[in-house]
């Protein structure tokens, strides 16, 4: 079996430039070479005889990918939709629901991925859909988070509650299993943003807890190319789902469909929404094979990530220096496999500046852009950060092509850039 680390990177990720230190897998994912080669073949297939491809082959291929994915997820393939990415999926669900804008409400939390929260803002601004926000300030205990949700849910009727498997920034695990149960208790639909889901978390909870809707990217942690994600929809909601964009299958909502169409309604609606490129989605089966046969399965992958993450946390703490903290709670439930967060050390000079960033989103955005551009252009490494609860939390990712020295080098470079940018801001 392949040895993870340096040799693995050379063999399966030779396209990563030698001078790049990739410690930000969490944002977009990186695809192994054999799958990129298959992607090329799929792209070509679209162009050889497009009529034959779209009219004869595409639907079977789509269904085959659903079947492979459903086996991995242990759910019925007829409950799945393939879609490009998590933001699209959240939009698709939220814009499918036949809201009663006079009374329906949504509950989200303050660490919701902004692009997805904007989708709620849109429904509010355009249609006056009401929403509430649960405030999250890390580090928090899971019990406290669940309690905050439960307090809202028990006092107000919400039609839907949206929360994450793993939040984006800081990159921490959310108590999603408990929250699915709490939503059921209050008869509130759950929409789970599992952008960081398959490939990091054990997804058996879908068949065990049966959330109403969940999406997960496959291009982040599951080795497929960009852009590739799925939505799981509980059978009781199949009928309400609408394609995004609205397209050819729209009449299926109003016609009397035969039993077979009804039982496969998500496939019938979603397999064709126009002349789109299916190539990334058609790599799902290959990604599953790669992770099983080349990587030795999910457990093997996670074992490597866990061991390396332990070392990487110590290294980044050491490189950031005195005052740097690892983001964790008392129960040690925040940290996930694959990502960790370290606070940028505060000192006499920079404390006020850093604390202001968590008060002013505009200042934070400007500062972030300045640092990110430098990291990417000048230093060939990039670790995103967020100003949250008076700290700058820097997020590092850990994957099978990484080695310990990646964290030594990247932490040093990231620290230098942030220090320098703060210095310039304070001049
Ligand atoms: C929690 C969360 N939700 C949604 C997204 C959006 O993913 P995508 O850009 O693939 O739609 C991300 C991306 O990092 C994320 O972390």
Q: Please, which residues have CB within 8 angstroms of residue 230's CB and are 6 or more apart in sequence?
A: 69, 80, 81, 82, 83, 89, 215, 216, 218
CA of 254 to the centre of ligand 1 (A): 33
Cβ of 165 less than 6 Å from ligand 1:
no
CA of 169, closest atom in ligand 1: 16
Residue nearest ligand 1's atom 10 by CA: 85
CA of 124 to the centre of ligand 1 (A): 21
Place of tokens 């058996």: 204
Per-position pLDDT tens, the chain of length 427 = 679 999 999 999 999 999 999 999 999 999 999 999 999 999 999 999 999 999 999 999 999 999 999 999 999 999 999 999 999 999 999 999 999 999 999 999 999 999 999 999 999 999 999 999 999 999 999 999 999 999 999 999 999 999 999 999 999 999 999 999 999 999 999 999 999 999 999 999 999 999 999 999 999 999 999 999 999 999 999 999 999 999 999 999 988 899 999 999 999 999 999 999 999 999 999 999 999 999 999 999 999 999 999 999 999 999 999 999 999 999 999 999 999 999 999 999 999 999 999 999 999 999 999 999 999 999 999 999 999 999 999 999 999 999 999 999 999 999 999 999 999 999 8
Q: Please, which residues have CB within 8 angstroms of residue 178's CB and are 6 or more apart in sequence?
A: 142, 146
CA of 220, closest atom in ligand 1: 10
CA of 384 to the centre of ligand 1 (A): 14
CA of 133 to the centre of ligand 1 (A): 19
CA of 87 to the centre of ligand 1 (A): 6
CA of 164, closest atom in ligand 1: 1
CA of 86 to the centre of ligand 1 (A): 6
Any bridge partners for residue 295, and if so which? none
CA of 287 to the centre of ligand 1 (A): 20
Cβ of 406 less than 6 Å from ligand 1:
no
Place of tokens 């929250």: 179
Cβ of 228 less than 6 Å from ligand 1:
no
Strand segments (E) across 198-281 = 213-217, 229-233
The alpha carbon dihedral of 147, 151, 157, 158 has a sign of negative
The reply to whether the predicted model has a pTM over 0.75 is yes
> Ligand 1, residues 31, 108, 116, 195: which to mutate, most atoms within 8 A of Cβ?
195
Residue 228 DSSP one-character state? -
The H or E element spanning position 394 is strand 391-397
Cβ of 195 less than 6 Å from ligand 1:
yes
């Amino acid at each position: 079996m392949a040895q993870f680390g340096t040799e693995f990177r050379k063999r399966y990720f030779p396209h990563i430039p030698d001078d790049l230190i990739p410690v930000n897998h969490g944002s977009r994912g990186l695809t192994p070479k054999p799958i990129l080669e298959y992607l090329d073949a799929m792209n070509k297939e679209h162009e050889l005889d497009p009529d034959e491809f779209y009219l004869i082959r595409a639907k079977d291929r789509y269904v085959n990918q659903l079947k492979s994915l459903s086996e991995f997820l242990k759910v019925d393939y007829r409950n799945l939709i393939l879609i490009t990415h998590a933001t699209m999926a959240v939009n698709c669900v939220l814009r499918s629901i036949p809201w009663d804008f006079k009374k329906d409400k949504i509950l989200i939390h303050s660490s919701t991925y902004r692009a997805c929260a904007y989708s709620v803002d849109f429904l509010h601004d355009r249609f006056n859909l009401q929403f509430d926000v649960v405030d999250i300030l890390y580090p928090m205990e899971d019990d406290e988070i669940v309690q905050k949700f439960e307090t809202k849910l028990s006092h107000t009727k919400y039609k839907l509650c949206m929360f994450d498997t793993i939040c984006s920034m800081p990159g921490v695990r959310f108590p999603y299993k408990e929250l699915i149960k709490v939503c059921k208790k209050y008869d509130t639909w759950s929409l789970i943003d599992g952008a960081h889901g398959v490939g990091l978390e054990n997804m058996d909870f879908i068949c065990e807890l049966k959330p109403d809707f969940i999406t997960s990217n496959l291009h982040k942690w599951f080795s497929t190319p960009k852009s590739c994600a799925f939505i799981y929809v509980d059978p009781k909601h199949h009928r309400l789902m609408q394609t995004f964009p609205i397209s050819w299958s729209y009449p299926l909502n109003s016609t009397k469909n035969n039993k077979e169409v009804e039982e496969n309604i998500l496939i019938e609606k979603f397999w064709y929404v126009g002349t789109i490129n299916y190539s990334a989605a058609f790599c799902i089966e290959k990604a599953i094979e790669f992770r099983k046969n080349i990587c030795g399965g999910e457990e093997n992958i996670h074992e490597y990530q866990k061991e390396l993450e332990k070392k990487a946390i110590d290294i980044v703490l050491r490189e950031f220096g005195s005052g740097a903290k690892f983001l964790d709670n008392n129960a040690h439930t925040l940290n996930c496999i694959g990502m960790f967060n370290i606070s940028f050390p505060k000192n006499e000079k920079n404390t006020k500046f850093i604390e202001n960033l968590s008060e002013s989103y505009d200042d934070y955005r400007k500062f972030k852009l300045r640092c990110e551009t430098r990291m990417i252009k000048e230093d060939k490494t990039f670790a995103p950060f967020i100003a949250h609860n008076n700290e700058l939390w820097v997020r590092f990712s850990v994957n099978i092509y990484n080695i310990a020295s990646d964290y030594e080098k990247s932490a040093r470079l990231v620290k230098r850039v942030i220090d320098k940018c703060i210095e310039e801001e304070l001049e």
